[in-house]
Amino acid sequence: MKCLLEFSILQTSSGSTIPLPMMAVESLMNGELALPYSNKFPLPSVVSCLGGCEEAFYCSKSCAEADWESSHCLLCTGEKSESCSRKALLKFIQHANETNDIFLLAAKAISFTILRYRKLKASHMSEQEKPASSILGTDLSLLLEAWKPISIGHKRRWWDCIALPDDIDASDEATFRREIQELAFTSLQLLKEAIFDKECELLFSLEIYGHIIGMFELNNLDLVVASPVEDYFLYIDDLPYPEKKEAEKITQPYLDALGEDYSNCCQGTAFFPLQSCMNHSCCPNAKAFKREEDRDGQATIIALRPICNGEEVTISYIDEDLSFEERQALLADYGFRCRCPRCLDEER
């Protein structure tokens, strides 16, 4: 019973605690919780990582397999991991979580390239039916081919392109940039211990690592997907009167216990190769956005006006309704001063 009592308090992120009725707690613990109208919100089954790391989860077995083959097998900390050292990998992940989680994306890009290189090389060797001894040594052209999908994004070294934080004085800029570079160096050493591949040694240079991280810093799109929990409670709120009243007898305690957390959205970072090729304009002719109804992280680009054949397609990285100075200040975070027709005009 003590255990049940302890479970009967849900802690919200705002710190407040509201007790859940004991019956609700019991049904939660027994896995028997049936919320009204929840059949209108069928949740796809969650597939765990094939390597047993319990850190990566997928919407389907085919997604899990695709990720395993394309990058995760080297970055998995589970039993089936193909990394050189799971212990080193855990250290790398911990360091990234404590400093900059973009290191995790950079590791994914490197792992992806190594695995692609190995596949390209294997199929090249089988086509040529060469003896096993000639497999040794890096095939630079295949490594470049493997690298191609990652090469699409615009890249400047991370420590060169990152904007100076507001709390750092301009006189400390050189020190700040050197420290950022050292941080990347530490992360790279940890990654090297975890997934180093002699034939792909070129990928493990600080220069390349800096460019990959810079690529994510400069091309990323923050994605927000509405909370499925919020969708459910909104649905209940919209029910006609008698049904709503009946349903709320059961749902209201959960809503109270969740507090503001009921609407926590799912946040993520995405890299879209096509979008990353588009320059910014403060008078753009296209717009990148996420459709409200999408629950899968797809981005859409729509034209804002007719675009002539051969005309550059531009999007806005920021709120273009801001003043000239505000826009330039925000774009400094992307590492450039805007030279779009509107800015050139307003600068005069």
Ligand X SMILES: C[S@@+](CC[C@H](N)C(=O)[O-])C[C@H]1O[C@@H](n2cnc3c(N)ncnc32)[C@H](O)[C@@H]1O
Residues contributing to the site for ligand X (CB under 6 A)? 154, 218-219, 276-277, 279-281, 334-336, 338-340
Residue closer to ligand X by CB (options 244, 290) is 290
CA 87 and chain centroid, separation: 24
Taking the complex as a whole, how short is the minimal distance between the CB of residue 185 and ligand X, in angstroms? 23
Residue closer to ligand X by CB (options 121, 155) is 155
Residue nearest to ligand X (CB): 154
Rounded to 5 degrees, φ, ψ at 262 are -60, -25
Residue closer to ligand X by CB (options 49, 161) is 161
The answer to whether 311 touches 333, Cβ cutoff 8 Å, is no
Taking the complex as a whole, how short is the minimal distance between the CB of residue 170 and ligand X, in angstroms? 20
Q: Closest Cα to residue 261, out of 9, 2, 11, 4?
A: 11
Rounded to 5 degrees, φ, ψ at 225 are -115, 130
Task: Locate 111 and state its tokens.
Answer: 């792992």
Task: Locate 131 and state its tokens.
Answer: 């003896």
Q: What is the DSSP string of 52-69?
A: S-SS-EESSHHHHHHHII
Taking the complex as a whole, how short is the minimal distance between the CB of residue 236 and ligand X, in angstroms? 42
Taking the complex as a whole, how short is the minimal distance between the CB of residue 278 and ligand X, in angstroms? 6
Q: Closest Cα to residue 43, out of 59, 30, 67, 61?
A: 59
Taking the complex as a whole, how short is the minimal distance between the CB of residue 156 and ligand X, in angstroms? 7
Question: Distance (Å, rounded) from C-alpha 9 to C-alpha 18?
Answer: 6
Question: Distance (Å, rounded) from C-alpha 157 to C-alpha 151?
Answer: 13
Residue closer to ligand X by CB (options 117, 158) is 158
Taking the complex as a whole, how short is the minimal distance between the CB of residue 326 and ligand X, in angstroms? 15
Residue closer to ligand X by CB (options 196, 271) is 271
Residue closer to ligand X by CB (options 157, 280) is 280
